[in-house]
Amino acid sequence: GAGVSQSPSNKVTEKGKDVELRCDPISGHTALYWYRQSLGQGLEFLIYFQGNSAPDKSGLPSDRFSAERTGGSVSTLTIQRTQQEDSAVYLCASSFFRTELFFGSGTQLSVL
Amino acid sequence: GENVEQHPSTLSVQEGDSAVIKCTYSDSASNYFPWYKQELGKRPQLIIDIRSNVGEKKDQRIAVTLNKTAKHFSLHITETQPEDSAVYFCAASITRGGANSKLTFGKGITLSVRP
């Protein structure tokens, strides 16, 4: 089937605006992750959903960031009142229990 | 929480030589250690992983070794080729009851293989 799908692939927004990033995981995958990758930086963990368990939100950098996963499938990452330092590639990944993470192609967010 | 560090941040080798990339982790409870490769403009992909019940795992030209006492693990690439040029990320997590905790990545190492 299809891999992990993210939309939009690119998003340009003005400082102070809200943005929503979408992730469609691989069907049947129980775990879903959001990571942020800034230029020259590693993969910064943001949030992790595993089945019906409470999400691990320990990586969210501020209360402007939130995420939800509806029906155990699609996830939306919302950034409110965007700042220039939020500019990065936002990567979503899914996995089935202990198997490997499959990454989407990411959303390049640019905050002007 | 878990902290994963990679050394060095960049590595350049001659084609045909071996490359070794090292990672350290902080949480002694971590028991799953994957390596991901990210080619320029592409998404990260798993290339090899190791669990804490083994000390070494090999897959063709790549191998990973784990030293639980020292809390470090290394990626070994033999007979390097230009297509091995990429950013390599190590990661660590805790696996319990069949599910992983969050996967914590290092900052990545850029490997350049000179033809």
Does the pLDDT at position A1 exceed 70?
no
Q: What's the confidence (pLDDT) of residue B100?
A: 64
Residues of B within 8 A of A5 (CB-CB) are none
Share of chain B above pLDDT 90, in %: 81
Does the pLDDT at position B21 exceed 80?
yes
Whether the Cβ atoms of residue A109 and residue A21 lie closer than 8 Å to each other:
yes
**Cβ separation A30–B46 shorter than 8 A:** no
Helix segments in chain A, DSSP class H: none
Over residues A26-51, the mean pLDDT reads: 90
Shortest Cα distance from A112 to chain B (angstroms)? 22
Over residues A8-16, the mean pLDDT reads: 97
The answer, for A83 touching chain B at a CB cutoff of 8 Å, is no
Does the pLDDT at position B97 exceed 80?
no
Residues of B within 8 A of A100 (CB-CB) are 34, 46, 49
Whether the Cβ atoms of residue A17 and residue A82 lie closer than 8 Å to each other:
yes
Over residues B74-103, the mean pLDDT reads: 88
Express each pLDDT in A56-94 by its tens digit. Answer: 999 999 999 999 998 879 999 999 999 999 999 999 999
Number of CB pairs < 8 Å for A and B? 58
The answer, for A25 touching chain B at a CB cutoff of 8 Å, is no
